Chain A
Amino acid sequence: MSATVSGDGSASAGAPHVGRAMRRKEDPRMITGRARYVDDISVPGMLYAAIVRSPEAHARIVSIDTSAASERGDVIAVLTGEDLADAFAGPMPMVWSPPGVEIKTPENWPLKRGEVKHVGDPVAVVVGTDHYSVADAAEDVTVEYDPLPVVVDPEKALEEGSPLVWEQFGTNRTHEFKVAGGDIDAALDEADVIVEQRLVNHRTAGAPIEPRGVLADPHGDNFTVYSATQIPHIARFVLSLVVGIPEDKLRIVAPDVGGGFGSKLQVYPEEALVLALARRLGRPVKWIESRSENMLTAHQGRDQINYVKLGAKRDGTVTGCQVRVVADLGAYQLLLTPFIPELGFPVMGGCYKFQAIDLTFEGVFTNKVCTDAIRGAGRPEATYWIELAMDRLAAELGMDPLELRRKNFIAKDEFPFTTALGITYDSGDYEGTLDRLLERFDLEAFRREQAELRDRGVYRGVGFSTWVEVCGLAPSRVVGPQGVGLQAAFWESALVRVHPTGSATVFTGTSPHGQGHDTGFAQIAADRLGIDPQQIEVIHGDTDQGPWGWDTYGSRSLSVGGEAVARAAEKVQEKAKRICAALLEAAPEDIELADGKYRVRGSPDKFKTMAEIAGAAHIPPQELPTDIEPGLEETAVYDPENFVFPFGAHACVVDLDPETGKVEVVRYVAVDDCGPAINPMLIDGQIHGGVTHAIGQALYEQVVYDAQGQLVTGTFVDYALPTAAELPSFETDRLETPSPVNSLGVKGIGEAGTIAATPAVTAAVLDALEPLGVRWIDMPLTPRRVWEAIEQAKGGVPA
């Protein structure tokens, strides 16, 4: 490589590696085309699968004729749901079972029998030797459907007489869940001003650029499944139950994964199907979905309607916060489908001291693909309504919206702060991030510029978001079976192994898909081991390597998984000190790790390197006491006692053309606080991407179904991801308020930008539209919607 070593962490030995903007260890393979994603893996004898999917949103399957497809050359098998009725030990599970609440959960089999419930529901599968031919053969499978009534609007689905997605339940309401704290009636009675707002948080797609893919490879009674997944460990557990293969015979590998954004936090029916096919046929089977299939059948996000009521006294003191959430869950219950709207509840109340918070969640079946976790998962929705409702409250009170926020912020010296819901926020400095934001963003100068521009017919607006989120999933006892009711735990593991020659391998139970764990975790381990990060490999995403783990989602990898790495590395350091002490005839407590050496305190010339210690650990010399076990590896398992609560203050500036309704983001300033940085470059990268995801939702992206349940936005032609041309460069800054929850002091940052930014963008558009009399528009703020809102405000009738 012609690369210089600057930025790789090895330049100045001894200085801490944590905190440096070290460039990534993952990148050399990725920038040269040597990364390995699922579709890059081939094994001898491999077959390809293509899935036949329903074109109807709701229908009875009358017949399936597979004969023409079966007769094609290259086709090995064509199988229907009936053919595979005995191939599964159970249906796809949903894992939320809150104590005392029934959640209606229909059976969800990998191939449908009897009825289909949304466009894209799988009804048959073709397996053959060539991936072009199986696609042809899938088109030759003739399925006769008897259409049934369709419902796509979640509020209409709740009305009396609506078509039912599932006849047996007698209703489309899946469940109702309530969370409340404080006396909401008293709090709202006490309020001088109450604002009420209905907000639609529309359906979006995760849209990782790598679609889903699975390769199941049988060898004897054992199976290796390569999957583009965020959750290989959970997938093994679930696939074992669904397909009926013992966990010890099932290895799941998440190789390089091309983005997830929550859409790969799932165990999909297709994963179970491909594994069952490999077992049935005794040959490796690969299924790689097309983008159209991904848009039809990968789970989607958001799709909530929020009815928000905020109360405040005349002086701006907020009193009560009451919200009803109607959540469109789609046609089935996937792994976490009904829980996602509720997931944000700990921060529903935001950065503000509400004396009472009252939340009601209703889930609804519709004839659409399921919703589930997409980047932020419940928290972007919460931040969206709390921040925009605070703006409305400020307008009602005639207060500056930032002053209203400051008046109600939980103050820096009030942490840990227990909210009306009984949730304890770990640490924060909300004034601090807002102050820093306003140092970078001169609001007075902006208002002068805005007025001048308006005189010239240019509509510029600014919006703010002072956000807090809850992440670091999760304290197992809080969210587990006897807590919130997830049938899971959320601790994390790490194994740190120093090899005889002094390099090391870190195994983590988390499973990255772009975040940079190989780099960040190597930095954490390097400081604790006294090894250069370039000599530390981080292994993840393989259930046959390293201890059990709970994978990657909910901005948990660093604050839970990274903490486990730190603890395991510290155990290794302790043992290394004992070995070093024996070799140098010193007391273990006199050995210090400094400048990358294990040395005797006060005698810096008496030292051993990790390579020398590791050699002695593996080939013990006589002077090593026999009570020190040979080898140099340690495991740590960490279950956090609380969540972590990152926060920040963002400002978005937009220009708006009132003639066309087109909105352009011209400036975006993000000040965030996720505790001490492990690698500040990676934090900035997460913010850039997270904010962009939210700008996409606010301005461009929307999953659209028509009234018949047909997906209108089935490709990237119709589903508009933001491109480089729509975006500005971002301005980022950070404060570092440590979390007391973990020893690193860190909080998650993977979802923060997405959680923060939709209200800032929407508020900026509303600010720009203020002189035109527009008070509200629901996202996405497309030119047409903005233009229609302007026309309506004028009193005209939009075309």
Chain B
Amino acid sequence: MSTPVPVRLHVNGVEHQLEVEPRLLLVHALRDQLGLTGTHVGCDTSNCGACTVHLDGRAVKSCTVLAVQADGAEVTTIEGLAPEGELHPLQEAFWNDHGLQCGYCTPGMIMAAAGLLADNPNPTEEEVRHGLEGNLCRCTGYHNIVKAVLDAAKVKDATITTPTSPSQQPEVRA
């Protein structure tokens, strides 16, 4: 194990000061060090997208980002997509449209869809299908996922994806 290095991550509006191995993947920093287990790991090759989070507002696969690369960045995970007790329009639409079955790909799928809608607020079905091709689902056949994304796009605040400024003061934790 090499010498740990300090990393400052702003995750879901909360600042964290971590000591990490330089090789530590962002997904493992989120899951193992911050306890944010909503971000999942489904492959070794960045194909499945279960680990998708937002890094400075862009959807990224957190298995392909080192924690040190995220130093100083704003990270949003599924746990922080909507304020506590509320649902983001995409979460609501996935629920209404049965856009999930086992739920394992779901956080990554929702975060990828949020990134898609941020870039393209009124996508066609074709654009949604191509926009989500980096995220694998084995349960749904994507039918209801695509439907949910199109339905969420009809809700006007669906593109507000990163609640990076919560009312509380940033909290620093080791």
Residues on A lying within 8 angstroms of B by beta carbon are 1-3, 7, 23-24, 26-37, 39-40, 73-74, 130-133, 207-211, 256-259, 261, 290-292, 513-516, 681-682, 684-685, 688-693, 715-717, 721, 723-725, 727, 729-730
Contact = CB atoms under 8 A, between A and B. Distances in A.
A715 B47 contact: yes
B104 A210 contact: yes
Contact of B98 (A1, A681, A725): A681
A515 B125 CA distance: 26
B129 to A, nearest CB: 4
B147 to A, nearest CB: 8
Interface stretch (B67-75, B89-97, B161-169): B89-97
Nearest to B105: A209
Contact of A716 (B47, B92, B132): B47
- In the A-B complex, the 9 residue pairs with the smallest Cβ-Cβ separation, listed nearest first, are A33-B38, A258-B104, A30-B103, A514-B102, A692-B141, A688-B141, A33-B78, A514-B101, A716-B47
Contacts of B132: 723-725
Nearest to B50: A209
B119 interface: no
A257 B104 CA distance: 8
Contacts of B28: 132
A23 B96 contact: yes
A666 to B, nearest CB: 12
The binding surface of chain B is classed by DSSP as: loop
Given A716-B45, A730-B141, A210 B102 contact: yes
Size band of the interface chain B makes with A: 35 or more
B171 interface: no
Contacts of A23: 95-96, 98
A682 B101 CA distance: 9
Contacts of A681: 98
A261 B92 CA distance: 27
Interface string B15-48: 0000001011000100110001111111111011
A32 B78 contact: yes
A514 B137 CA distance: 12
B76 to A, nearest CB: 11
A116 B106 CA distance: 38
B60 interface: no
B128 interface: yes
B95 A31 contact: yes
Contacts of B147: 729
Contact of A725 (B92, B130, B144, B145): B130
B87 A725 contact: no
B139 A727 contact: no
B128 to A, nearest CB: 7
Contacts of B143: 688, 727, 729-730
Contacts of B87: 1-3, 31-32
Nearest to B82: A32
Nearest to A513: B102
A751 B79 CA distance: 33
Contacts of A684: 98, 144
Interface in B103-120: 103-107, 110
B100 interface: yes
A7 B47 contact: no
A681 B48 CA distance: 26
B140 interface: yes
A208 B138 contact: yes
B138 A24 contact: no
B9 to A, nearest CB: 17
A693 B140 CA distance: 9
Contact of A685 (B85, B98, B130): B98
B74 to A, nearest CB: 17
A274 B86 CA distance: 39
Nearest to A685: B98
A24 B95 contact: yes
B71 to A, nearest CB: 19
B136 A723 contact: yes
Given A32-B38, A209-B42, A729-B147, 12 more contacts: A32-B78, A37-B37, A258-B42, A291-B45, A516-B101, A688-B143, A689-B101, A690-B141, A692-B140, A716-B48, A727-B141, A727-B143
Given A23-B95, A39-B41, A210-B40, A721 B85 contact: no
A37 B48 contact: no
A40 B37 contact: yes
Contacts of A514: 101-103, 139
Contacts of B98: 23-24, 681-682, 684-685
A2 B95 CA distance: 12
Given A715-B47, A717-B45, A717-B47, A30 B106 contact: yes
| Most chain A beta-carbon contacts within 10 A, residue among B96, B103, B107, B137 | B103
A28 B40 contact: no
Interface string B123-155: 001001110111111111111111100000000
B1 A74 contact: yes
7 contacts: A7-B96, A29-B103, A30-B106, A40-B31, A40-B37, A211-B42, A724-B129
Nearest to B146: A724
A309 to B, nearest CB: 34
B62 interface: no
Contact of A132 (B21, B47, B102, B133): B21
A209 B21 CA distance: 27
Nearest to A31: B91
B54 to A, nearest CB: 13
B96 to A, nearest CB: 6
A685 B94 CA distance: 12
B62 to A, nearest CB: 13
B141 A691 contact: yes
B77 interface: yes
Contacts of B136: 209, 716, 721, 723
A209 B135 CA distance: 10
A375 to B, nearest CB: 9
B122 to A, nearest CB: 18
A31 B94 CA distance: 8
Nearest to A718: B45
Contacts of B141: 688-692, 727, 730
Contacts of B32: 131
| Most chain A beta-carbon contacts within 10 A, residue among B32, B78, B125, B138 | B138
Contacts of A725: 129-130, 132-133
Contact of B43 (A27, A682, A716): A716
Nearest to A72: B1
B43 A261 contact: no
Contacts of B50: 209
Contacts of B128: 724
Contacts of B130: 724-725
A736 to B, nearest CB: 20
A729 B37 CA distance: 31
Contact of A729 (B31, B100, B107, B146): B146
Nearest to A260: B102
Contacts of B77: 33
B77 to A, nearest CB: 7
Nearest to B21: A132
Given A688-B141, A692-B142, A724-B146, A33 B36 contact: yes
Contact of B39 (A29, A33, A132): A33
A688 B61 CA distance: 26
Contacts of B129: 724-725, 727
A693 B138 CA distance: 7
Contacts of B23: 132
Nearest to B41: A39
Contacts of B78: 31-33
A211 B63 CA distance: 15
Contacts of A26: 103
A693 to B, nearest CB: 7
A258 B40 contact: yes
Contact of B104 (A259, A292, A682, A729): A259
A40 to B, nearest CB: 4
B142 A724 contact: yes
A103 B82 CA distance: 56
